Structure 1
């Protein structure tokens, strides 16, 4: 028989009598992406969650990712530049995907006056870096 999250103390480190105190009503971050997408990996994958805050005027620098990245904009507006020349703006409550590989070089910049907070989920090959800095082609 399977276990419900919070039912076993060894699953999440809480005593069973505290299980009723758990709340799943408020997600850490939530965003909507209009496009349909698929994920594919070429071998064992590692999932990494990260929150990044960019101050006004700050950028990520040009980079690419060895694996796929799902991004939710928690606050602010991120301007995202692709090396091929396209530009898009993602605002709070929106989600987008960054595709894997050196052919997907991009940079994010906070062009606003308030911080941009991003919640990221990297789905990457085991033991690979989160991102690789590079120059645009």
Structure 2
């Protein structure tokens, strides 16, 4: 599991927080925008030069986050479903089920997919440099799948 860490949210209690759609920059010709992803920002605060944003994200069956990266670190908790996560090397770097936690380090291109039959619900805490977007679209790094 290169670049993604399980169990990193034990100190974080994200219960009771709600959903948000992935905020991304406008898509470019090579970008792979999300499909079947919705959500809502529940909490947002800036402390010094750091933005903290808490969102609940839903990925419908067959949905994908599209290839993207984050300028900061993302901490996630799987409230429901199973997320299949792939890195820029085109290999799976995690299958996260209900109750699992994981971390996405900054500036690593990846994609999340819902290959199951039920929606995935994630509670996500973004820790970003002030003013940075929550995620940025990226081109498919050469994988045979989207």
Q: TM-score normalised to the size of structure 1?
A: 0.67
Which of the numbers 97, 103, 122 marks the counterpart of 2:103? 97
CA-based RMSD of the aligned residues comes to 1.7
- Aligned with 1:60 (options 60, 65, 85): 65
Q: CA deviation at 1:84?
A: 1.3
Counterpart for residue 111 of structure 1: 115
Runs of 4+ off more than 2 Å: 26-29
2:72 pairs with 1:81: no
Deviation at residue 44 of structure 1 after TM alignment: 1.5
Structure 2 portions without partners, runs of 5+: 1-13, 18-47, 142-146
TM-score, normalised to structure 2, is 0.63
Question: Which runs of structure 2 are paired with 1:1-137 in the superposition (5 Å)?
Answer: 27-28=15-16, 44-87=49-92, 88-101=94-107, 104-137=108-141
Q: Cα deviations across residues 2-31 of structure 1 (Å, max 9, x unaligned)?
A: xxxxxxxxxxxxxxxxxxxxxxxx9337xx
User: Larger helix proportion, structure 1 or 2?
Assistant: 1
Write 1 or 2 for the structure with the bigger share of strand.
2
- Unmatched segments (≥5 aa) in structure 1: 1-25, 30-42
